[in-house]
Copies of this chain bind each other. A is one copy, B any other.
């Protein structure tokens, strides 16, 4: 049967391997690449290889970085007594965007998920405990996701850290800003009620 030229078929297959890219989208992307100027395609190909060659994990906070230690860990202006624990590197960027947090981070590189066979040993918890032993850490903020896996992970870490005498906090749950009470789900509303605070 007739097929596209081998190199085109191969590129379509390569695109189709990516998450969320079906066969039709893969075909569309491959055709788009065909019509791109050659130097742009080479730049794209170069970016793919470069990312594998330059990005590594920070030995301190386990965040993705191209310098060792990472820019946040080596930033002298950061409050070193405060560590915000997140699941993924993306979460660091999300929190940094608020421009509110001036402490350090620790990226667990996942969450506890028995369903997906991920236990505490698969996360960068050992590295976190090591940091607590070495540095003068005063507070650990658990900023894992507000889903079952994230809550489980936060609970696990809280139980682990409490005997060590370190203040352990969890980011607040409640109504999203700009949200509508009417459309809030019961679980969120319950947490919002429980987490109420006096207006001063």
Binding site for B on A (CB under 8 A): 1-8, 10-11, 14, 17-21, 25, 27-34, 36, 38, 40-55, 64-67, 71-72, 89-90, 92-93, 96-97, 99
Chain A interface main SS type: helix
How near does chain B come to A15, taking the closest CB pair, in angstroms? 8
Number of copies: 2
**Of B21, B27, B52, B97, which contacts A90 at CB under 8 A?**
B27
Decide: B11 and A19 in contact? CB cutoff 8 A.
no
Distance, CA A18 to CA B71, complexed state (A) = 30
**Of B5, B28, B38, B55, which contacts A34 at CB under 8 A?**
B55
Decide: A52 and B28 in contact? CB cutoff 8 A.
no
Distance, CA A90 to CA B81, complexed state (A) = 59
Decide: A6 and B47 in contact? CB cutoff 8 A.
no
Known: A20-B28, A34-B52. 12 other contacts (CB 8 A): A2-B93, A8-B64, A11-B47, A11-B51, A14-B44, A14-B47, A19-B32, A33-B48, A33-B52, A44-B45, A45-B49, A48-B48
